[in-house]
């Protein structure tokens, strides 16, 4: 599926809630990498996973929302994008269609055991076919906006996944995760490659000679 622009947020706390995802979309983002989900969604966090006091680095193996809560946020966000896409806000006819093509890209982590678990696998499957959640949320649209219940909401939210792993994750495990995502889940897969997995010489070759 094409996207109207190549602009969008990377996975993080800034795009796990409906309002932030929609604000990003209204700002022109059309490739939205949703906040990474993982099997450990019961951890008690004393701070957000991204510390932005100076450079904004990752400080926790965290997930602020449970999987079911994340599913609601992501499906509801997609439905709101569909609603906005059917308004005059973004033009008419073919111009509207061209301006609203959006990719919701899932992000999962952090190891094969967690990603292949029943909970995470079920979550991914529900984003690939979100019919049940779409119908549940469709029924919750207030009566004053009842005409919006007839919007043809997308049910195949995500067709691609970006893999997020920790620094130092063995390369053979990354390969096995990709085999699982591609072969068993049937999703397009992007590897978020930590630069430290490349040696210094190869990294400098990519940066200075190739790029």
Q: What are the pLDDT digits (tens) for 105-158?
A: 999 999 999 999 999 999 999 999 999 999 999 999 999 999 999 999 999 999
Neighbours of 62 (CB within 10 A): 19
Cα–Cα distance, 145 to 143 (Å, whole number) = 5
CA angle 20, 21, 23 (to 5 degrees): 60
Neighbours of 77 (CB within 10 A): 25
How confident is the model over 87-120, as pLDDT tens digits?
877 766 676 777 899 999 999 999 999 999 999 9
pTM of the model: 0.85
Contact 64, 45 (CB under 8 A): yes
Closest CA to 45 of 66, 63, 58: 63
pLDDT band (50, 70, 90) for residue 61: low
Neighbours of 47 (CB within 10 A): 9
pLDDT at 37: 94
Top pLDDT among 125 and 57 is at 125
Burial 121-155 (b: 16+ CB within 10 A, else e): bebbebbbebeebbeebeeebeeeeeebeebebbb
């Amino acid at each position: 599926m094409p996207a109207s622009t190549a602009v969008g947020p990377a996975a993080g706390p800034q795009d796990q809630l409906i309002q932030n995802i929609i604000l990003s979309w209204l700002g022109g983002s059309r490739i939205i990498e949703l906040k990474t989900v993982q099997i450990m969604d019961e951890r008690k966090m004393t701070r957000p996973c991204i510390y932005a006091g100076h450079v904004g680095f990752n400080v926790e193996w965290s997930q602020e929302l449970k999987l079911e809560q994340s599913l609601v946020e992501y499906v509801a966000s997609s439905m709101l994008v569909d609603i906005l896409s059917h308004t005059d806000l973004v033009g008419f006819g073919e111009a509207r269609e061209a301006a609203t093509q959006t990719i919701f890209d899932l992000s999962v982590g952090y190891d094969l055991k967690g990603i292949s678990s029943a909970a995470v696998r079920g979550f991914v499957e529900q984003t690939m076919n979100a019919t049940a959640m779409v119908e549940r949320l469709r029924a919750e649209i207030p009566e004053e906006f009842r005409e919006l219940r007839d919007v043809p909401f997308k049910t195949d939210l995500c067709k691609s996944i970006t893999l997020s792993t920790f620094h130092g994750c063995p390369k053979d495990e990354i390969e096995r995760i990709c085999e699982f995502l591609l072969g068993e889940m049937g999703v397009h897969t992007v590897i978020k490659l930590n630069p430290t997995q490349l040696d210094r010489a190869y990294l400098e070759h990519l940066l200075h000679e190739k790029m």
